[in-house]
Structure 1
Amino acid sequence: MCDKKLNEKMKFPTAIYHLPGLFEFYELYRVFLPLFREHREYFYDWCEIGSIYGASADCLWGGGRIGEGDYDPREVLALLKEYGISARLTFSNSLLRKEHLSDGKCNSLCAMFAESDAVQNGVIVHSDLLLNYLKRTYPNLYFVSSTTKVLTDFQQFVEEVNREEFRYVVPDFRLNKSLRQLDTLTESQKVKVEFLCNECCWSGCKERKRCYEVVSRQNLGEECPDHRCAAPDGAEGYQFSKAMKNPGFIGIQNIKNTYLPMEFTNFKIEGRGLGSALILEFLLYYMTKPEYQIHVREKVYLDNMLDLF
């Protein structure tokens, strides 16, 4: 599925992307995935899609950024099954209690995702309480350690990578450029590392955990004011151009020239809760050859009668 494989042309591992918006960007992927299969010449030959992650609206176990959209999960699963792509549920709520484990909607989704007989599906988790419950109840799923744990200490991150229950671990983006330390990992450890590439958050932020906890409380229905970001330019919201200037940003040249030769193969693209137009820009930047980007735009949304204003 998402395991390391050698790119025969490039002579080093293929980059495996994990993309956002499993439910909220279903309509975009319904157009994009056929393009990716039928016009593979449009896209870099050194990359593939490993998974698409997200959670449908109002999921109690959710803990990442809140998105919109509530497409029929069976339609979503059918689309990904057709293209051999793993579906991941983002159930990264950090504040779950025992009484929350019986939630009907979240259990129904897990049961449905665990039924897959083609591609194994997974769950992104933060809470060990939830992890242990899912391992017992849905053993056919695999598990990803969420970036919401904010693993900025390298030794703590290594300990997380060494946990057998996780297939992948997403470190905090501030570890992305700790290349000397990262290169000390063994091959079996490296294949479990999944880098968050395009984070826009201020690298000096000390409230990242608190921000995620606010989202967790809101998903639990608790009275909780929105977290107000105190970062410089935080009020501007997500901007890809700003993310590119982030010290932890991983661009396509970094992937090709640094991470793949070091045998790191898994790369997560942030984007839940953003607009589909911005997600398309991520797909164009990370996956599409520059000379074919206009072709992808034309097939996704451009026509000669489109007005911007």
Structure 2
Amino acid sequence: MKKAYYHLPGLFEFYELYQVFLPLYRQHRDWFYDWCEIGSIYGAPADCLWGGGRAGFGEQGPREVLALMQEYGISARLTFSNSLLREEHLTDKKCNALCALFEQNGAVQNGVIIHSDLLLEYIKKTYPGLYFVSSTTKVLTDFRECHKEIQREDFRYVVPDFRLNKALDQWNTLSQAEKDKVEFLCNECCWPGCRDRKRCYEIVSRKNLGEDVEHACQAPNATEGYRFSKAMKNPAFISIDDIRTIYLPRGFSHFKIEGRSLGSALILEFLLYYMTKPEHQLEAREEIYLDNMLDLF
């Protein structure tokens, strides 16, 4: 069977969780499905000017983060998906220092999740050792536009808008090389009828640029916040059975799990659901919850 590669949230935000989970994943590999691997872990430190998508809350030092990823041979992705960057923002010291550090690859190449073509051209020239992922913040809901994005040589992967997830007849028209670049967002909780998604992402971009702006989501039941049970009822939700019986047989192998703005306890539930065999989920949960070094929230 073709392997599924998961791209997981919280590179900086959930460093302490991964510090416990990754040794467990290595030591008890038989607890986890043999048809899946960790493709990357993505995120950004707090107050990153180039950040976007969701505001970063990570406070862990970047050298410690990079060292953990290199120890386990996992690609680290910087989430630099701010859509509103201008020329003067390219000199930001913090973001440039992060790119310079993460360009030091070790055995595995690191990447950048990106929205702005201005930033793309700058990083291509300045830090050529990094690869690029086209961000879902572009809200590519038209399949033809998404296909054009996939055909761009700049991107190793493209994350379509979640509302294209089940357009299987159209996805089947891609070549295998194109399918290898598609990274489906599995567990989005957003209302499929939302017309403000791009504006929501732009508000986050403005906040990261220091603007005082607010945005109230108008989706039904938005006050409930993210609930995995609700995400599972979303018509665009990609379940573990969907991955095994629909997407992998059709030649797709990359799947993104969202959740940087959520708590580590909920991220653990994602890791258990998507990666852990049911008969070992309780054991894995106990090992992590009983670790004295970790405070899940």
For normalisation by structure 2, the TM-score amounts to 0.97
Q: 2:232 aligns with which of 214, 225, 244?
A: 244
Residue 294 in 1 paired to residue 279 in 2? no
Residue 24 in 1 paired to residue 18 in 2? no
Percent identity reads 73
Residues 191-217 of structure 1, C-alpha deviation per residue, up to 9 Å, x if partnerless? 000000000000000000000000000
Q: 1:81 aligns with which of 70, 79, 87?
A: 70
Residues 118-176 of structure 1, C-alpha deviation per residue, up to 9 Å, x if partnerless? 11000000000000000000000000000000000000000000000000000000000
Measured in 2, the distance between the counterparts of 1:222 and 1:24 equals: 23
Structure 1 residue 223, shift from structure 2 partner? 2.1
Q: Which residue of 2 aligns with 1:124?
A: 113
Residues 35-79 of structure 1, C-alpha deviation per residue, up to 9 Å, x if partnerless? 111100100111000100000010000011113231111111111
Q: Which residue of 2 aligns with 1:164?
A: 153
Please give the secondary structure, in 2, of the residue aligned with 1:13.
Answer: coil
Q: Pick which of 194-203 and 227-236 moved more.
A: 227-236
Residue 62 in 1 paired to residue 51 in 2? yes
Structure 1 residue 13, shift from structure 2 partner? 1.1
Q: Which residue of 2 aligns with 1:105?
A: 94
Q: Pick which of 113-122 and 153-162 moved more.
A: 113-122
Ranges in structure 2 where 5+ consecutive residues have no aligned partner: none
Residue 71 in 1 paired to residue 60 in 2? yes
Q: 2:258 aligns with which of 270, 281, 285?
A: 270
Q: 2:181 aligns with which of 177, 192, 208?
A: 192
Measured in 2, the distance between the counterparts of 1:302 and 1:210 equals: 41
Residues 216-254 of structure 1, C-alpha deviation per residue, up to 9 Å, x if partnerless? 0000001212x1111111111100000000010001000
- Residue type matched to 2:111 in 1? G
Ranges in structure 1 where 5+ consecutive residues have no aligned partner: 1-11
For normalisation by structure 1, the TM-score amounts to 0.93
- Residue type matched to 1:242 in 2? K
Q: 1:228 aligns with which of 216, 219, 241?
A: 216
Q: 1:284 aligns with which of 260, 272, 279?
A: 272
Q: Which residue of 1 aligns with 2:135?
A: 146
Q: 2:244 aligns with which of 244, 248, 256?
A: 256
Please give the secondary structure, in 2, of the residue aligned with 1:48.
Answer: strand
Measured in 2, the distance between the counterparts of 1:263 and 1:188 equals: 10
Q: Pick which of 61-70 and 246-255 moved more.
A: 61-70
Equivalent pairs counted in the alignment come to: 292
The runs of at least 4 consecutive aligned structure 1 residues that moved more than 2 Å come to none
Measured in 1, the distance between the counterparts of 2:150 and 2:58 equals: 32
Structure 1 residue 115, shift from structure 2 partner? 1.1
Please give the secondary structure, in 1, of the residue aligned with 2:181.
Answer: coil
- Residue type matched to 2:139 in 1? V
- Residue type matched to 1:195 in 2? F
- Residue type matched to 2:282 in 1? I
Measured in 1, the distance between the counterparts of 2:26 and 2:151 equals: 35
Measured in 2, the distance between the counterparts of 1:235 and 1:84 equals: 39
- Residue type matched to 1:167 in 2? R
Q: 2:204 aligns with which of 174, 191, 215?
A: 215
Contact 2:4 2:255 in 1 (8 A): yes
Measured in 2, the distance between the counterparts of 1:198 and 1:294 equals: 22
Structure 1 residue 302, shift from structure 2 partner? 3.6
